[in-house]
Homo-oligomer: A and B are copies of this chain.
Amino acid sequence: MDEFDLIRRFFRRPAVRSQTRFGVGDDAALLDPPPGQVLAATVDTMVAGVHFFPDADPAALGHKLLAVNLSDLAAMGAEPAWALLALALPEANPDWLSAFAEGLFALAGRYRVDLVGGDTIRGPLTLSLQALGWVPEGQALRRCGARPGDGIYVSGTLGDAALGLKMLRGELGWRDETAVERLLRPRPRVALGLALRGLAHACIDVSDGLAADLGHILTASGVGAVLEWESLPLSAAVRRYVAETGDWRLPLSGGDDYELCFTLPEAAARVLQQRLPAGAVAWHRIGTIQIEQGLSIKKGGKAIPLPPAGYCHFEYDDK
């Protein structure tokens, strides 16, 4: 079986979008973004032994590889449309490829994403995906617009993926399947990103940890922020972990949550409430943007400075 057979067998599916002129099978895909829209493009890579365990479930990997890219598009307020895949595989294992494709296409189908290009080669297991989408002229969510007085909000709950990783590593005496699932199959907040168009002053997805990612908003916007520990949305499992270990920084530093962190003026928060459909992901105010630079958190009446540390790929040796 050569690479062309591989690509044909597992990754060539009929396009679901009318804007897909031509997908896999020529020198390049031909795509037709609607007029009046700006194209959003992002790429994310996952390496065995660095970003996932080498024996990880291939269906979960297919899901996550697409999810982390859709999360980037959601953080721009972009509607996802297309993906291109670059797969390096140690061997052409049909079972692995079939499960990987199943996980990827299940999520792609939910958001009407067409896989329009691919490159499958032999090499150390490395998964790279590039996603394209669009956002109406002038409505993209950037990192640089946060203003003093804005509320700081975050979707879902924080720290679950980092807790799930500790569980998979056997560092805890207990296990919570929801936390593990958050690590293995993150859910991109696409609907929330679309609802934030024209409302959020700044937005980012939480991939490297809340403190690090909010730090990018603060730097880009030239402002500071104060968070409130008691307002952080935490799952029962993370609450238990914090209570048992005293490690209250996990929800601030843990990566891989893929929630959205955004800033809104007061009035916009009320509009967002009305825009979001019933059953949409919850979102909570966790702090306030201020003029003074830096990031700190109020906890038990004290203000504690938070250095802008987060998940760092080149210093993170034992994942």
User: Which residues does A use to contact B, with CB under 8 Å?
Assistant: 1-3, 6, 21-22, 25-33, 35, 38-45, 47-51, 72-73, 75-76, 78, 82, 84-86, 88, 92, 116-124, 126, 128, 130-133, 135, 140, 142-143, 203-205, 220, 312-316
A312: B residues at CB distance < 8 A: 2-3
Q: Hey, which chain B residues are within 8 Å of A92, CB to CB?
A: 314
What is the CA–CA distance of A225 and B53 in the complex, to the nearest angstrom?
49
User: B residues within 8 A CB of A47?
Assistant: 88, 121-124, 126
Residues of B within 8 A of A31 (CB): 38-41
Nearest-CB residue, chain B, relative to A23? B41
Can you spell out 27 A-B residue pairs with CB atoms less than 8 angstroms apart?
Answer: A2-B314, A2-B315, A3-B312, A21-B140, A22-B142, A25-B143, A26-B143, A27-B75, A27-B76, A27-B203, A27-B205, A28-B41, A28-B73, A30-B140, A33-B39, A39-B39, A41-B116, A41-B117, A43-B118, A45-B121, A47-B88, A50-B123, A88-B126, A121-B313, A122-B316, A124-B126, A126-B126
User: Is B38 a contact of A35 with CB atoms below 8 Å?
Assistant: no
Residue of B nearest to A43 (CB): B84
- Once A117-B42, A314-B92 are accepted as A-B contacts, the answer to whether A50 and B86 lie under 8 Å apart by CB is no
Nearest neighbor of A312 in chain B, beta-carbon distance: B2
Question: A212: shortest Cβ distance to chain B, in Å?
Answer: 9
Instruction: State A1–B313 Cα separation when bound (angstroms).
Output: 10
Minimum distance in angstroms from A20 CB to a CB of chain B: 10
Q: Are A314 and B27 in contact (CB under 8 A)?
A: no
A119 and B45 in contact, given A3-B312, A124-B124, A314-B92 (Cβ under 8 angstroms): yes
Complex interface: chain B residues within 8 A of A86 (CB): 43-45, 86, 128, 130
Per DSSP, are chain A's interface residues mostly helix, strand or loop, or mixed? strand
B51-A38 in contact (CB<8A): no
- Which 7 A-B residue pairs are closest in the complex by CB-CB distance? A47-B123, A124-B124, A28-B42, A27-B75, A31-B39, A28-B40, A86-B128
Q: Say whether A121 contacts B50, CB under 8 Å.
A: yes
Residues A28 and B78 in contact, CB atoms below 8 Å apart:
yes
**Nearest CB to that of A31 among chain B residues?**
B39
Kindly list chain B residues whose C-beta atoms are within 8 Å of the C-beta of A30. 38-40, 76, 135, 140
Pick the contact of A3: B76, B122, B314 (CB < 8 A): B314
CA distance A130 to B42 in the complex (A): 10
A159 CB to closest chain B CB (Å) equals 21
CB distance from A210 to the nearest CB of B (A): 15
CB pair B124 A123 closer than 8 Å = yes
